[in-house]
Amino acid sequence: MDDEVRAFLARTEQHYPPDAVDLTVQDQRRVYNAMCADFNVGYPDDVTAQDRAFGGVTCRVYSRAAPVAGTVFYCHGGGFVVGGLDSHDSICAEFCAGTGMQVIAVDYGLSPERPFPGDFEDAWAAFEAVCAETDGAIVLAGDSAGGNLVAAIAHYARGRIDGRITGSLLIYPGLGGDRTRGSYVTHADAPGLSVRDMAFYQTLRSGGQDHTGDPRFAPLQDTDFSGLPPTVILTAEFDPLSSDGEAYRDAIQAAGGRAVWIEEAGLVHAHLRARHMSRRAATSFARMIQALTLLRTGQITDLD
């Protein structure tokens, strides 16, 4: 971990401390929103955004004056407890600028007010409406909790909505992997996200119910990984969720599908926000832009 990443972590902790899960949910949201506002860099010159509903769910649509055909359907991270349209605002604007595609960000319901399956139902309702109201390719994308949601959509869409999803980009996603091995053990107390944090978020999201075996809750617990779109998974070295990326790639490939897993050396969970202060994070962000661009046409073989 280099000095730039350490500086990013220090700046993050000025607003969102390592023990934030000990705060009330409302206070967690307050400090998380303050942190995100501090990292917001605004929009590139040619990007505009407008809020509108898809399937009864508020979304934010980012577009350029000379758009490229296709849509990035984006779900934000935040453990299903924090975050929203503003937390990832400039991130989505830069995805729009970098790919030329319109980006539709989804303001799905959060726990504990709307526990699972409410968050998935919101994301699915928005996705169905986007499919009905837009033309061309749709690339699913999301970070952390959002990576979980868009992976779940890819699984659930099989046999329901075929032919629209040309690819998926999962950014340090939590997919419900085995917590007794791999990065869950070696990086259990990683800065930015710990196994303890994950347990807190999962308890709120589950509403105290056992959702074992439900791929809408944990895509890695599906029994069928066939028929999924080309998938790129980017994880961070210092992150308990890293092993989920490897396991998901292996499951798709074993079922005859196409998937690439890239672990970003020296980086931490939530490094999307570090893209303007860390060269490593900037390189990772450029790789995300490249992946989204390739996935628009279902390609992943040329990914650096």
CA distance 39 to 274: 8
Active-site residue flag, 178? no
Catalytic residue among 197, 222, 239, 244: 239
Return all residues near 59 (Cβ < 8 A) that are at least 6 apart.
51, 52, 53, 85, 104, 105, 106, 107, 126, 130
Active-site residue flag, 239? yes
CA distance 63 to 43: 11
Say if CB 231 and CB 165 are below 8 A apart: no
CB-CB neighbours of 17 under 10 Å? 13
Catalytic residue among 63, 87, 111, 144: 144
Tokens read off for 128? 């169905």
CA dihedral 268, 272, 274, 275 (to 10 degrees): 130
Q: Which element (helix H / strand E) includes 211?
A: none
Say if CB 232 and CB 259 are below 8 A apart: yes
What residue has token string 């000025």? 14
Catalytic residue among 88, 187, 269, 271: 269
CA distance 289 to 296: 11
- Hey, which residues are catalytic here? 144, 239, 269
